[in-house]
Amino acid sequence: ALRWAAVNGDEKKGCFMAGQIAGLVKKEQTVHEIIQEIFSQAEEILKGAGKWVK
């Protein structure tokens, strides 16, 4: 069944494996969107980083 899905791409006859992370996925995103989100979050964190350094 895994072969039907993974190799043949048939999600009707086959089955896909999902790991522990699957429960954390909240929305579908392109790689570009994910990278942009990571960079935006990093910028926000770094804006406040000065208060952590003496």
pLDDT for 39 equals 98
Q: Which residues of 15-48 are buried (b: 16+ CB within 10 A; e: fewer)?
A: eeeeeeeeeeeeeeeeeeeeeeeeeeeeeeeeee
What 8-state DSSP symbol labels residue 14? S
What 8-state DSSP symbol labels residue 37? H
Tens-digit pLDDT profile for the chain (54 aa)?
777 787 888 878 888 777 888 888 899 999 999 999 999 999 999 998 888 887
pLDDT for 44 equals 94
Q: Residue 42, Cα to own-chain centre: how many angstroms?
A: 16
pLDDT for 3 equals 78
The CB-side HSE value for 30 (13 A sphere, CA atoms) comes to 3
Domain locations in the chain? 1-18+27-52
pLDDT for 54 equals 73
